[in-house]
Structure formats: C-alpha cells, structure tokens
Structure 1
C-alpha cells in the first residue's frame, strides 16, 4: 500500500508545472472499485488517462468507511472483479462476507497487479468540471488549481461517498473525542473504559454497535428510526472451502449474470429475492406465523410472498417482526422501540452480528429519539429532552447523500453553463440509464441515478457500466465522433419507466424515508431513482441501445 507521505509527495511533484494545462484523452474521478476498472479499460484502448483521487491511496468507499464492524453484505467471491482470471486465481479471500480491511487490501492488490498506480494522482480533490462547447472538451480543475483538459470524463465517485453533516447544535463545543464512521481513524480507536454514544442505526450503526459495546464502559445508542436487520451469515472460510469455490469461478460468474441482483449466492437481498413460491402471510394461520418465528427468528416474520405489495400483509409483517424482536430483547420498552415503523423492503436490508442481543447487555442504553429528542451537544455530553448523558466519545453514523451527493459537491457545468446540482435540485436526480445527464456531453456517470446501483451487487452492475462506457468511447473514436450526450426525451422516458416499476410497491410507501429516494437529505427532491427490474434486464437494455447505434443519445 502507498503510504500517506508517498502519496503527498507524488501529488506535489505533479503540481510543479504551475498554471500548465495538462491534456489527456480521459480523466477519471475516484480510485475505488469503479475508478480502477475504468483506468484499466481505458488504458487498454491506448488512451492517456489520469485518475484524480482525493485520498492518499486507493480504496474509495472501502478506504474511508473503516468503522468497527464494517463488512460487505455480499459474498466475497461475488463482490470482486470478474474481468481478470489472474486476479481471481491469485487472490485468496479469508471470509464469506469480507470485512473492510480485507476489501481495502484486495483493492491495493488489484492496483499493483494491474500496474495502475502510475496513472493515479492522489491527494487531489476535484473542485470544478466545465464543458467547453467550442473545443468539445472538459476542463477539470482541482482545489490546488491544477487543470486537466480531456474530451471524456468518467465520474467514478461512488454512490455512498458524500457523508451528511450531523447538524446537531453544540457539536463544536464537545471536549471529548468526536468520530465519524465515514472517516474513522486509520489506526482505529480504543473505546475501553469510555462512555460512548453512537448516533445512527442504519447499516453502519447496526454493524458498529455490537463491537463498540464490547469495549465501552457504557454505550448510548441514539436511534431516530428503527431498522429491519437480519442475522448475518458472516464467518471465516473453512480450510479448503474457498479453494473449492475458486475452482468454480466460471460457474459462479455465469450464475451471477443470470441473477436478478447480480449475486447468485448469499447477500443482503436473499430475503427480498427469494419470496416467490412462499405462502402468503395474510392467509397464514396464527400457528404457521408463530412457527415461522420460532424456527427462523426475525427472518420468519418477513419470509412471505405478499410482504412487499399487500398493505395488510405489510402491517402484519411489521407486527410479527416486533414479536420476534421481543423474543430476543428482554426489556419490553427497548424491544418495542426497536420495531421499525416503515414497511419492510423499502430500504436495503441490513445484516448484523448480534445487534439485538447487544441491548441485553447492562452497559447498553437505547435512546429512542422519537420519544426523547436530542436538544444539543454540550462540552461533556448530549442533552435530550429528558436527560443529559455524560460522554467521552461520540461516533456519528448519520448516513450519506447517496447517488448524487459526490457530484453535487463539485461545480459541474455543461452546455450553456448548466450547473448539475441545479438540474438535480429542480428536476430531481435524473439521468439516462444512470450513464449520462442531458446537456452534459461526454460526462459518464458510473451507477448514477437510473441505474441498478443500490438495488444490486454494486460490483456486478459497475463492471457492466464501465465496459459499456469504454466500448462507447472506442466506438466514438473509431468513427471520428467527438461527443455523445443523452437526449432529454430519452432521459425523461427512462425516469418514467423506473417510477412505473416501483409504483404501488413498498418503495413508494409514504412512510418510506430512505436514501433510495433522497428523503434522508433535508431539501433534496424526493424521487425514487434506482432500476429494480434486475441486472439481466438492465444489461440487455443497455446493450440493445448500443447495438442500435446508441438510441436515445445524440452523437456529434
């Protein structure tokens, strides 16, 4: 791995040219999974490429989100690059569901094995990207004032890379240790003997809370919205188990291509994607319902064919889930507070390792913010409506401005000076195929609004997106074309199709406030933006569009 000093030295050395503008064939923003693959593919086309990365090393989301308990919810053998036989055969995964450290190590391995670092500029944050209509190129400007000009930009900025500000009064006055899950100290933090608060009980909080509870003298969990969380199958591989799987990579990858979410094996989507053929909750006897909970715990409360669409089944599933939680959490008031109020399936399922059991520990207190809201952070702790909790450390796990946040924090201007953040603020997070936004030629998004993104195995969907983008670039260059951009009509029709897919489902339920629809970000236009008809269908649509001469795009 490249250390911080080496990354900084490389960045400073590259800036020695002062006001010089560097001309390239393509600029890639971000050096996570998407950026590394984009660089590899573009280099294979013979292009001069530069990756601009704000961090001091590769890793993207898996570099910054190194909080205690951070783990993927898809099997390692499927949450990995499929394009390279060498990477598959030379890397050995140690766990069924990989942890953050192993994923970060894997990305460094891939960067070294593919010799990618020489075209990555670390410690470089992009401040602005402006399309020059006369020259038909993008001017990319960094915070340090460097300028790069290229006809193509690939925004590999990630769907969960723009953290939300907690926005709690008094935060700056706190004299203890303030920690953020999305930029947790690289050296870790020892909570032993400390009074700790974790604010947020989404996926991050659910993963971190059991780990922190084992160390802390006392842990206060501040919960705004209870979540559905299911027991994780995470474990280490048995001796020889991974080696046997590795020998079947071709078979596993073929199954991935056919799988609705791009994951044919264990994943967070297992419950959602395996409901077909099951009995309906609404017509099940009380004995059958209780038997399901006794045999499968919280999963048994949700594993019914009608829990995603039938309003009465949705209500019944939530009640049954509450009964399952009450069988685990001994304190009745705490158990009741841990029952979600939104319909199951409207948010990505969370998997946990002993989350509910953690609330039976004598050193853990749940603070239900629906009953006891935070008033302010004080120099010594947190004041709610009912109490003041003395604290030594606060860990914020308050989520992300998903899908669009990373790009709206950059000044991105297309034709006629159109500002991308303004387009998304007024029209909602629109894009055609999740690949391009109208009036922003040659700017390719990776898993942008309108893509499978959060409703899929990100890596499986991302690889197809990168391959489509690079094939498109090759097509343009071979034909002597300079630009490609989404037509407004095609973009509008695509968004209408996405909304039609979720109409009447729990995803559009009025109580469903999630980062899927932007409701977790104050002021963000609420709109569902993820393609849910499945990866096989999405790949087919994208490939048909390309084969037909890029239907819905204007080539100049």
Structure 2
C-alpha cells in the first residue's frame, strides 16, 4: 500500500507505510486465531512477530525436553471439528517439535501466512486522539496506522535473562531456555550449570543429565513436582479422543482451569480414608489433575493445603531417599499449588546420578558470574563450560512494558504498570482506547488456565466486540475508570482469599525486582470469568465507554 499523508492520521510529519483496521502483535496461539477471526470479519488486518515463523511460545521454547503439560487433545482450537480431527497427536504430552508442526498445520490450513510479517519487532505504539488511530512502528522502519491494536504477545514471553552481575564475562555460552538456539546447542560431554528448578528447569535437567559430563543444578526455591504419565497413542487412542470433540468443546470453557477435569468433592464431605483414596487415584493419573481438580480448598484453606502438600512431599521423599536431597528439593515453606506445578519424568532420580550435583543457593546465593563459572556469596567457585538460565519471565505484563505503548495524553503503559498493574478483565486498560489484550494481567490466561481454552475465549470476545462496534457505528471503545476499578477490586478480593496471594512467586510478580505486587491471574475460575465477560458484553459493554 502506498504511503499516506500525515494528515490522514493526525500525526504531523509522519509518513504511514500501511493502514489497517487491526494490527495484531504476536503469531502464537492467540495471534493466529485472532487473525483468522478478524479476516473472516472482513477487516484489513496483519500480525507481526519477532520470530521467523509462527508458534509463539512454541517457537521460542525449543530447549531440551520442552513439551506440553496440558493433554494434547485439549490444547486445541475448538472452533472447527475439521481442523481438530485432521491432526493426530503421537502422545498424551508431545514435545516441542511436534507442537510446532501442529501450529504450522493450523497456519497453513487457514492460509494465514500471507497476513503475517515475521522477523519484525513492534517497538512503539502511540494513540493519536484527533484521528482515533494507533501509530505503530517496527524495528524494520514500518510505520502503520491502525484503528485497533490487539496484543497477543504472550504471558510468558519476556525472559528474565540478565539476572546476574558479570554474565557478559563468562568464557562459555549462556543460554536462557526461552531463547535456545534454533540450530540447537551441543552440551554433550560438557560441564553444565542449570540455574532454576521451575517447570522449565526441570524439563531441561531431566533431559540432559545423562548426556553431559557433569551437571550442577543451582536450587533456590524447590518445587512440588508430579510424575507425568505420557503414553504413546495408537490409531485407537487417536480415534477415541477425536470422538470426544463435541464433549470437550462443551466442557473446557466452563471448568475452573480450562482443562477437561474439575473439582468434584469438597474436603469436608469426605472421611480421611476417602480423601487419601481420592488423592492416590488422582496422583496416579499422571497429569495436573492433583493441582487443578482434587480439592478446591487447597487454594484457600491452610489446613487442607498442608495435608495435600504433605501427601506430595511424602511421594517425593520416597523417591529421593537422601535426607540432604530432600531438604534441597522438597518445599516446606509454601503450599502445594500456590506456585506453578511442574510435571516431570524421573526428574528426582536424576540427583542420584554420580555426574549430577545439587547446589543449594537459598542461604548462600549466587554472587556473580565470572569467566570460569558461578561464584557464590561464600566465595565458592563452580567452574562450568555452559550456563543454562531457567530463570523465568517478567510474566503477564513484561511483554507489553518492553514496548513503548502510549495512550491518551501520552501516558505510558510501562510507567503506569510500574506503579500499579491494572486492567479491565484482562481485555483492556483505561487510558488506552481500542487496545485489546490477551494473556494480560487480571485474567485467567495470565497463568491459571489451559492456555488455548482461555486465549480462544478472549480472542472471540474481542472479535464480537469489534463486530458490535462496526454494526452499531462505534469507532472507539475504552474502559471507564469506574469499570476498571470495579474489576480490579473484584479481582483482588478473589485473589486475596487464596494462599497464592500470600506466597512469593512469579504469580504475583515477586520474581521481578520492583514489580508492583498483585496476583497476575484471575483466580475465580475460567468458567466464571467467561460468564462475567460475556455478561458485560450482553449488557452493552458494561464498564466500557463506546463512542
């Protein structure tokens, strides 16, 4: 499209290279479906992604051992039975290469590539009040004018990669797990350090332990880890889950977590023997069910939390055996489920290998990185050839605060969220008209959800919102101050009733120095959130101003 004059968008001395109805940031699970929907609506729309291809988190996270911990047959788009049934999974929890192939299949089946610009980073997005347009700039020199700015940048896409003093001095390579080289990295036969034992660190550790010469694992906060049962699928297994398509489509959007299972029993309704039987049965399922569908009270009742936590500790102790390893690797100062719960495959047994060393850094933290390796506070030097950072993300907000986003009166989202992280239903932010968000704070998609369930719901809400505006002659939507305040208050009241709010983790920003403290994810449940967002829309977009 030929350049347009600056007067068309009300920004002096600006040459616009492309005019759109909607611009999408990101070409992962949310961005791909959002692009499909808005094209079907007849909009001029384009998606932009820093990556060289589609996939979002499944493009970037190609570290050794990366795989689903949602069952493959529910981590799916559910708007088309044909799209669902024409792809067959090889396992219950497939690995990253297969997941990336699936997202290529979706992209090509829907012919989405022609409207995606890859290897392009959005650097700024400024709202121009007189033209009611966003002016968006990229690192490749594009200047785009768009009515709607839709962020599908991901809730875990801003890595915490510069976390230790002296990293640049290290003589060998340092890899953050979410920026693993596309061509791979050879760690075989080398002395390797892994810093961090969250879900990602666990997958890396259990995968490379038998390949490296020596593995040092630096442990600050141990995790309650559950064993994964990951059977391979034959033709009968595939046919069986495909036959459940309509059932899953009807069920997933309404459960607490967007998974197929939900809480069935209240703790107080069962005898101690019945509770133990139920815990054993769910534990044996080999999935996240113990976390997301055992007893809801585990999130709010300290006594129930302690009993379920002790059940998991008991299972871990039986496998670890060594009291020193138990002390390093089994949590005792927070409850099961108040952190992200990882699934693992023989992860605990890795520490019994002669070439694996567990290094506790809670009381003797990492001081700095030096050319030879990792230096602890007490002066101990751990010499290694390779450092792998499984140090997590600036979750929920980081993907957007790393872009220069400016709304009304030049207000900065980075500045606003540095003081107080607020949204309206995780879908919009007051002061930023026509900016619609997915995977943002204060919605279940920020953490507590089977991501495809929540991201589909949010993109569908956004699509229906834009359809409503076009049909009724509106050009601008923005949350009201009162509407946003009501949502934040409801979110906080719900979150503060949980033990998650009382536990330091990335769930409330505790892993990012200076980040405002607030539970990032809506904790009222996926089904409840869906009902509330749909009710707001049905009431004429209550809490929002349309003009």
1:337 aligns with 2:333: no
Contact 1:66 1:182 in 2 (8 A): yes
Report the equivalent of 1:438: 430
RMSD: 2.5
- Find the counterpart in structure 1 of residue 11 from structure 2: none
The yes-or-no answer on 1:211 pairing with 2:207 is: yes
* Residue among 349, 365, 368 paired with 1:357: 349
Match of 2:119 in 1: 123
1:387 and 1:411, CA in 2 relative to 1: closer, same or farther beyond 3 A?
Answer: same
Shift of 1:274: 3.6
Deviation at 1:19, TM superposition (A): 4.9
Give the Å deviation of 1:504. 3.3
Selected match of 2:501 from 484, 487, 508: 508
Equivalent-residue separation in structure 1 for 2:161 and 2:416 (angstroms): 22
Q: What is the alpha-carbon distance in structure 1 between the residues aligned to residue 311 and residue 82 of structure 2?
A: 48
Structure 1 counterpart of 2:265, from 276, 280, 283: 276
Name the counterpart of 1:269.
Answer: none
Instruction: Decide which of 171, 182, 187 is 1:186's aligned counterpart.
Output: 182
Distance 1:300 1:516, change over 3 A: closer
For residues 162 and 367 of structure 1, the distance between their equivalents in structure 2, rounded to whole angstroms, comes to: 27
Q: 1:466 to 1:292 in 2, by over 3 A?
A: closer
In the TM superposition, 1:84-99 aligns within 5 A as 84-99=80-95
For the residue of structure 2 that corresponds to 1:201, the secondary structure is coil
Q: Which range moved further: 436-445 or 235-244?
A: 235-244
Residues 24 and 517 of structure 1: CA distance in aligned 2, closer, same or farther (over 3 Å):
same
Deviation of 1:317 after TM superposition, in Å, equals 4.5
The structural deviation recorded for 1:289 is: 6.9
Task: Find the residue that maps to 1:148 and give its secondary structure.
Answer: strand
3-state SS, counterpart of residue 135 of structure 2: strand
1:37 to 25, 33, 37: 33
Report the alpha carbon displacement of residue 306 of structure 1 after superposing the two structures with TM.
Answer: 4.9
Query: What whole-Å deviation, never above 9, does each CA across 1:402-459 have from its counterpart, x for those lacking one?
Result: 1110100001000111101111111x22111110000100000013222111111111
The corresponding residue for 1:135 is: 131
Shift of 1:374: 1.4
Distance 2:15 2:36 in 1: 28
Q: Does 1:366 align with 2:358?
A: yes
1:546 and 2:529 aligned: no
Correspondence for 2:52: 56
Q: Could you give the per-residue CA deviations for residues 285-326 of structure 1, whole angstroms, max 9, x where no partner exists? A: 8x9979978995999998667543333444455455444322
**Which consecutive residues of structure 1, in runs of 5 or more, have no partner in the other structure?**
1-17, 266-272
Q: Is the 8 Å Cα contact of residues 228 and 344 (structure 2) preserved in structure 1?
A: yes
Match of 1:378 in 2: 370
For 1:148, which of 119, 144, 154 is the aligned residue?
144
Is 1:527 the counterpart of 2:514? The answer is no
Structure 2: tracts of 5 or more residues without a match = 1-13
Tell me the distance in 1 between the aligned counterparts of 2:491 and 2:52: 37
SS in 1 for 2:299: coil
8 Å CA contact 1:77–1:93 kept in 2: the answer is yes
Provide the C-alpha distance between the structure 2 equivalents of 1:293 and 1:245, rounded to a whole number of angstroms. 25
Contact 2:282–2:290 (Cα < 8 Å) also in 1: no
Aligned length: 527
Contact 1:213–1:219, Cα closer than 8 Å, also in 2: yes
